[in-house]
Structure 1
Amino acid sequence: MSTESGREPVDVVIVDDHTIFRSGLKADLDERVRVVGEAGTVEGAVEAIEQLRPRVVLLDVHLPGGLGGGGREVLTRCAPLLQTVRFLALSVSDAAEDVVSVIRAGARGYVTKTASGREITDAVLRVADGDAVFSPRLAGFVLDAFGTQSVADDELDKLSARELDVMRLIARGYSYKETAKELFISVKTVETHVSAVLRKLQLTNRHELSRWAADRRIW
């Protein structure tokens, strides 16, 4: 059913570990958004997103559960869907490190939980249309982080999407076996990707890779 503007509602999945927050947010969103699913854990979020394929996911940044925990892990595991499913991060935090980390992982925007239902609905529609959306003052964190990383960006451009996925997990301390499990690939494939990443970045081992990623705040 179309809204008053004639536009079809945007399908959304809400991911947050607090049931009361999910219920309150669902009630506050207006008719321009249609909530098609909810989840409170990393595993539940990945399953719901893969099954429902919503246009936008409202994702709690500090979601518990999973090997690495948090919204970043959901983004990492849903990386193959990022071309069609947009992620809008939600958090009580406005810390620069939280904002930058989820944007690097693939989120299209970041809104604090102090926003009103209408503001979040507006943000959902903008993200669905391809815009990047941030709460006031948070955009500056992203501009600062990405504006000073031109060298890192040039190096990252050498990597394929899957190599980036593997690189981020290895840099965060995951073992080859854990990385394989997270990305649903074989350990041998992980080893192949790591070798390619080290060669392209001109590094010699995974410890150098971790330092390289930490220096550039790439997680």
Structure 2
Amino acid sequence: MGDDVRVVIVDDHSIFRSGLRSDLDASIVVVAEAADVAAAVEAIAETQPDVVLLDVHLPSGEAAASVPDASGGEAVIRGAAPLSPGTRFLALSVSDAAEDVVRVIRAGARGYITKGSSGIEVSRAAHAVAGGDAVFSPRLAGFVLDAFGAAVGETATTNDELDRLSTREQEVMRLIARGYAYKEVAAELFISMKTVESHVSAVLRKLQLSSRYELTAWASARRLL
């Protein structure tokens, strides 16, 4: 899977933490574990991990009291992100409630996967998130599409919108919207990652979108996937 990825596992169930730790790929180095918000923020600030594997439903407790109605997962992100700016957050969830997952994504998580995922799937997701990509669990992806799709303005017809993009930009747009990592897009189209990044920036600018989440929602709503 490439270079090692340093992670912190945050979950209030010790059995889940130990099980996940044992199932992760050898390239995933667990530098700390935490069972609550305060311990998680402290561990992240101290270890500066690449990725935090974060329980969406971590109990908020007293440490999250300054963030009304926030879940523990949200509180960890808001508390730790300023202290470890290079760290990315990957949410883990067993919930099928849209608002739970969408809120933690809006708080700053780079993606989410279900707790039913295998160790190799979590490991791959951690590598993708560490590399700057977003990761969507197929079981829950519709929640994000619906949530961010509602914010995407219908300002032109599909053809008019696509006409703003070059042929190559349309190719990149479809692959990114389908969840491809930048490296995978580069390999698929035989171009460099830097070129992929340039195309993605151009696509978002021309379509007046702010993230790949919105791009996925935009493409899904127009049946371009």
Contact 2:57 2:93 in 1 (8 A): yes
- Any stretches of 5+ residues in structure 2 without a counterpart? 154-225
Alignment of 1:121-132 (within 5 A): 121-132=123-134
Q: Distance in 1 between matches of 2:139 and 2:71?
A: 26
Letter in 1 for 2:119: G
Q: Distance in 1 between matches of 2:140 and 2:44?
A: 26
Q: Distance in 2 between matches of 1:116 and 1:26?
A: 11
Contact 1:111 1:134 in 2 (8 A): yes
Q: Among 20, 26, 29, which residue is 1:31 paired with?
A: 26
The alignment's TM-score, normalised by the length of structure 2, stands at 0.61
Contact 1:62 1:71 in 2 (8 A): yes
Letter in 1 for 2:115: K
Matched, 1:88 2:83: no
Q: Distance in 1 between matches of 2:146 and 2:45?
A: 33
- Any stretches of 5+ residues in structure 1 without a counterpart? 152-219
Number of corresponding residues: 146
Contact 2:12 2:58 in 1 (8 A): yes
Letter in 1 for 2:28: V
The ranges of structure 1 where at least 4 consecutive aligned residues each deviate by more than 6 angstroms after the TM superposition are none
Letter in 1 for 2:22: A
Q: Distance in 2 between matches of 1:99 and 1:91?
A: 8
Letter in 2 for 1:42: V
SS in 1 for 2:128: helix
SS in 2 for 1:14: strand
Alpha-carbon RMSD: 1.6
Matched, 1:58 2:60: no
Which residue pairs with 1:119 in the alignment? 121
Q: 1:79 deviation in Å?
A: 3.2
